[in-house]
Amino acid sequence: MERWKRTNDTEATDLGIATLRWHTAISPRTGSAGRYFSLESADWVNVIPITPKGDVVLVRQYRHGTDSIILEIPGGIVEHGEDPQLAAAREMKEETGFVAERWIDLGVVEANPAFQTNKCHSFLALGCTQVSDQRLDGSEDIAIIRLPLQEVGRKIQNGEIQHAMVICAFFWYLQHGQPAGKLFAHTTIG
C-alpha cells in the first residue's frame, strides 16, 4: 500500500479549536483524484485521577456536539509548545482543583484519523487531592463527581460513559497492568 499524493492543499476555515483544510488526493491504485478535508487541531489530553481512597474523579459537563450532558474524565487541549503531561495536570487542576502525587503516561491514540490530524494522550494521576476550587473559563460549566473505581466498568457497560476517548483511557489503564477487578468489580466481562 502506498500513500496518496496530496495536491491543492488550502485552508478553508479557522474554527477556533481546529482549522478546516481541503485538499485533492490522488489514489496510487486507480490514479483517480478526489477532494477531501481534514481538521487540524492541537493534541488533546485525558486524565484518570485516582484519590488515595481509590475513587476516580470524573466531570459531568454539557457537550455541544451531542447536545447532551455527559460523564467523562478531565481533559482538554494541549497548548502550543506545552508538554502533554503538563497540559494534563493543568486541565485536571482547572476543571477539578485536584493535583496528583504521581503521573503515569498511559498511551497515545489518533483521535479520528479519517479526518482529524491530532492525537489524544491519556494519563493516570495517582494520589489526587483537591487543593483549590475549579478555575473554569467562561464556556465551561463542570460538576465534579467522585466515584468508586469499581463503578466505572458498570457505567461504561450501561452507557452512562460513552465518550470514546474516555473509554480508550480506561483501556490504556488496563493495558498498563492496573487490576481489571478494580475497574470491573460489579460487571461481567466476556
pLDDT in tens, 56-102: 999 999 999 899 999 999 999 999 999 999 999 999 999 999 999 99
User: H helices within the chain, ranges in order?
Assistant: 84-96, 152-157, 164-175, 180-183
pLDDT in tens, 136-187: 988 889 999 999 988 998 999 999 999 999 999 999 998 886 655 555 554 4
At residue 105, does pLDDT exceed 80? yes
User: Which pLDDT belongs to residue 185?
Assistant: 52
What gap in Å lies between CA 104 and CA 33, rounded to an integer?
44
- Is the separation of the CB atoms in 97 and 130 below 8 Å? yes
Q: Which pTM value belongs to this model?
A: 0.88
Beta bridge partners of 146: 57
The answer for 67, left when phi > 0, alpha when psi is -120 to 50, beta otherwise, is left
Nearest-10 Cα torsion for 58, 158, 123, 91: -30
Domain ranges of the chain: 5-40, 42-183
| Burial category of 173 from C-beta neighbours within 10 Å (exposed 0-12, middle 13-18, buried 19 and up) | buried
- Is the separation of the CB atoms in 49 and 125 below 8 Å? yes
User: Which pLDDT belongs to residue 189?
Assistant: 42
Highest CATH level, class, for 42-183: alpha beta
Q: Mean per-residue pLDDT for 17-23?
A: 91
Question: Is the pLDDT higher at 179 or at 109?
Answer: 109
Residue 154 in grid coordinates: 458498570
What gap in Å lies between CA 142 and CA 74, rounded to an integer?
10
Q: Mean per-residue pLDDT for 41-53?
A: 96
